[in-house]
Amino acid sequence: MDTLLTPSILLLLFSTFVWSGFLEYDQDVLIPDDWTRAGRVDPSEELELTFALKQQNVDVLEEKLRLVSDPDSAQYGKYLSLEEVSSLVRPSEVTHKAVRHWLHSHGITNCRSVCTRDFLQCTMTAEVAEMLLPGSRFQRYVRDGRTIVRSSAPYSVHDDIHQHLDFVGGLHRLPPKGQDQVRKDPGGGGGVHMGVTPAVLRQRYNLTKADVGTSQSNSQAVAQFLEQYYHPADLVEFMIMYGGSFQHRSQVDRVVGTQGGGRAGIEASLDIEYIMSTGANISTWVFTNPGRHESQEPFLQWMVLLSNMSDLPWVHTISYGDDEDSLSTAYMMRINTEFMKAGVRGISLLFASGDSGASCRHLGKENTFRPSFPASSPYVTTVGGTSFKNPFKVTYEVTDYISGGGFSNVFKMPDYQVGAVESYLKSVAATLPPRSYFNSSGRAYPDMAALSDNYWVVSNRVPVPWVSGTSASTPVVGGILSLINDRRLLKGLPALGFLNPRLYKLKGQALFDVTEGCHLGCLDEQVQGKGFCAVPSWDPVTGWGTPNYPALLAALQAE
Ligand SMILES: *[C@@H]1O[C@H](CO)[C@@H](O)[C@H](O)[C@H]1NC(C)=O
Ligand SMILES: *[C@@H]1O[C@H](CO)[C@@H](O)[C@H](O)[C@H]1NC(C)=O
Ligand SMILES: *[C@@H]1O[C@H](CO)[C@@H](O)[C@H](O)[C@H]1NC(C)=O
Ligand SMILES: *[C@@H]1O[C@H](CO)[C@@H](O)[C@H](O)[C@H]1NC(C)=O
């Protein structure tokens, strides 16, 4: 008996200990091979850390989001201001006092807060940070000439503070590597290469010359967290080359963040050039690498910024994601709450679904699919990718095999999609991958899709062909939603806000259903490289399909 009990008691003690000291006990702290360690950070060096304070009324916020996003609710479109969000979720006085006291007792006084008072950003030396957060060890890492500071070991916090914080940002989570966006010439160099341009997209999605923004109060944004920048001159050149057939803008109205020098990146040029081609003549902002410290997490910085800006564009598209299994649950839960905070304000957040299909995780001999976050959040709209059936013609669309999709292991399936996902699971039951590969009770994504293959992009003044990925389809959908917002705003209606509850009620009406092709999965005997396959109606490869603008406008411009 004793010998049987001892290990389990130890385990129990150990897990109690883990729960009380470490906020992010399940955070992956391994540094990927492509980063090189460049030594310990000098104790006197300054770091900036972000403290995510425990919020109040998160359940009320969630219910509020459900009501303002459900077209059948009397509260539909009755969005909250940032001030109102703040009075709902801001941390209690007890939490504030406890955290401030803890920081002060370590001599940390240089902190900035946000309007919602649920984040604190503080600067301190590495020496103080390591005392404040026992376990942490700050190192410098280098990749492609960029350096960052992260902790090589997990951090803990004092027991008195544990209940007042969700996590501390700036210790883990390295910026994911940008995708290699240029695919090889699929035609072997021979045939006429057409490729996707604004004219092709506008033709496919039925946008006429008159379908451009006209509302003064409309705006849209792309957020990017890459080590690369868009160049204003590339956008001008792109519009000269490809913008001839529709009224457009050739300038970004506002850049928030640090727009560094250096060469332009293809990915950085891509989102801006294409959101401004479907969301034509609409004021456009770019959020780029917010944060200046080597210790900051750019994506988190952007989230913090949203809680401190009362006037924001209505639509944001973001091509950013990480494996769910590499992130702590506490972090994902909190970021998900941040998405709710944006949603109740009427802001639409669109995330690329990823470029590795269902993706694959190798666990010993077992393989499973590998969901990606934030694509797997129930409170964002996730966009997958398609190709033309005939790559040289504007034909119907089929699955782009890279299109990210699958089922979350962290977030349970939200009510708005239960019907759609269950009928998918039922209709393809005989041909589904084995259940051990995915979690059929999780949030399923993507929600919709658009072309993601064979784009022309102007980068460093040169047109580049064969640019691909869901980072192309996401701004295309974003621009189209912005156009619909434009018409709604002109009619005095509220913006679309968090779209999914309304999108799923359309049951695919007003979208081009994608019914052919499968995306990538695990390269093993069981699934042989495949993930899921597109079928009629919703599927976890292309969602409900791609936008037919006039039909979607008609469906979404009613109150
Ligand atoms: C938020 O905005 C206020 C007022 O503009 C500013 O004082 C504060 O430093 C900002 N917070 C952060 C974290 O940047
Ligand atoms: C939109 O495009 C499709 C296919 O390109 C076409 O069949 C349809 O007639 C077009 N117009 C509308 C209003 O849906
Ligand atoms: C472009 O948008 C502006 C408002 O931002 C509007 O005044 C103008 O009429 C629009 N152009 C067209 C062709 O609709
Ligand atoms: C499956 O997803 C649910 C949430 O929907 C989660 O609670 C559960 O732990 C997941 N299972 C696995 C094996 O990850």
**pLDDT tens-digit map of 418-438:** 999 999 999 999 999 999 999
- What per-residue confidence (pLDDT) applies to 182? 66
> Ligand 1: residues within 6 Å at CB?
112, 114, 121, 304, 308
Residue 478 resides in a domain = yes
Q: Of 169, 204, 221, which one is at a domain's C-terminal end?
A: 169
| CA-412 nearest atom, ligand 4 | 5
Residue of 471, 473, 482, 486 marked catalytic: 471
**308 lies in the same domain as 357:** yes
- What per-residue confidence (pLDDT) applies to 114? 98
**396 lies in the same domain as 482:** yes
**319 lies in the same domain as 396:** yes
522 Cβ below 6 A of ligand 3: no
- Which of the four pLDDT bands, split at 50, 70 and 90, describes residue 6? very low
Q: Of 169, 185, 214, which one is at a domain's C-terminal end?
A: 169
Domain count, the chain: 2
Residue 80 resides in a domain = no
| CA-413 nearest atom, ligand 4 | 5
**374 lies in the same domain as 452:** yes
- What per-residue confidence (pLDDT) applies to 226? 77
Mean pLDDT of 215-227: 92
Other beta carbons within 10 angstroms of residue 507's beta carbon come to: 14
**250 lies in the same domain as 341:** yes
Question: Picking from 7-11, 198-202, 302-306, which range would have the lowest pLDDT averaged per residue?
Answer: 7-11
Report the CATH number at residue 520: 3.40.50.200
Which residues does 381 contact at the CB level (< 8 Å), separation at least 6?
A: 348, 349, 350, 351, 447, 448, 477, 498, 499, 500, 503
**304 lies in the same domain as 344:** yes
Q: How many angstroms does the Cα of residue 386 sit away from the middle of ligand 2?
A: 18
Confirm whether 471 is a catalytic residue. yes
Give the whole-number percent of the chain exceeding pLDDT 70: 93
Question: Picking from 11-15, 50-54, 226-230, 256-260, which range would have the lowest pLDDT averaged per residue?
Answer: 11-15
Residue of 271, 294, 486, 539 marked catalytic: 271
Residue of 130, 166, 267, 324 marked catalytic: 267
Mean pLDDT of 127-155: 94
| CA-249 nearest atom, ligand 3 | 1
Report which bound ligand comes closest to the CA of 214.
Answer: 3
Reduce the DSSP state of residue 126 to 3 states and report it: helix
**pLDDT tens-digit map of 21-77:** 899 999 999 888 899 999 999 999 999 999 999 999 999 999 999 999 999 999 999
Residue 64 resides in a domain = no
Residue 437 resides in a domain = no
Say whether pLDDT at 109 is over 90.
Answer: yes
| CA-212 nearest atom, ligand 3 | 14
Confirm whether 423 is a catalytic residue. no
Domain hosting residue 212, numbered range = 195-431+442-557
Mean pLDDT, rounded, of the chain = 92
**98 lies in the same domain as 206:** no
| Cβ-contact 239, 248 below 8 angstroms | yes
- What per-residue confidence (pLDDT) applies to 185? 53
Residue 119 resides in a domain = yes
Q: How many angstroms does the Cα of residue 207 sit away from the middle of ligand 2?
A: 10
- Half-sphere exposure (Cβ direction) of 16: Cα atoms closer than 13 Å: 6
Three-state SS sequence of 491-539? CCCCCCCCCHHHHHHCCCCCEECCCCCEEECCCCCCCCCEEEECCCCCE
Name the residue with the closest Cα to ligand 2, atom 10. 206
**383 lies in the same domain as 526:** yes
Q: How many angstroms does the Cα of residue 248 sit away from the middle of ligand 3?
A: 9
- Which of the four pLDDT bands, split at 50, 70 and 90, describes residue 267? confident
Say whether pLDDT at 180 is over 60.
Answer: no
Mean pLDDT of 463-488: 97
Q: How many angstroms does the Cα of residue 206 sit away from the middle of ligand 2?
A: 6
**478 lies in the same domain as 535:** yes
**146 lies in the same domain as 281:** no
Q: What's the predicted TM-score (pTM) here?
A: 0.94
Residue 311 resides in a domain = yes
Residue 510 resides in a domain = yes
**pLDDT tens-digit map of 400-411:** 999 999 999 999
* C-alpha distance from residue 319 to each of 87, 176, 360, 429 (Å): 31, 11, 20, 32
> Ligand 4: residues within 6 Å at CB?
409, 412, 439, 441-442
Name the residue with the closest Cα to ligand 2, atom 9. 206
Residue 90, token pair as written in the block? 């801001």
Residue 78 resides in a domain = no
**110 lies in the same domain as 200:** no
**301 lies in the same domain as 424:** yes
- What per-residue confidence (pLDDT) applies to 293? 80
**pLDDT tens-digit map of 528-541:** 999 999 999 999 99
Confirm whether 63 is a catalytic residue. no
Measured in degrees and rounded to the nearest 5, phi and psi for residue 68 equal -75, -15
Contacts of the segment 71-77: beta carbons below 8 A, 24+ positions apart: 71/501, 71/502, 71/505, 72/505, 76/559, 77/346, 77/493, 77/494, 77/495, 77/497, 77/559
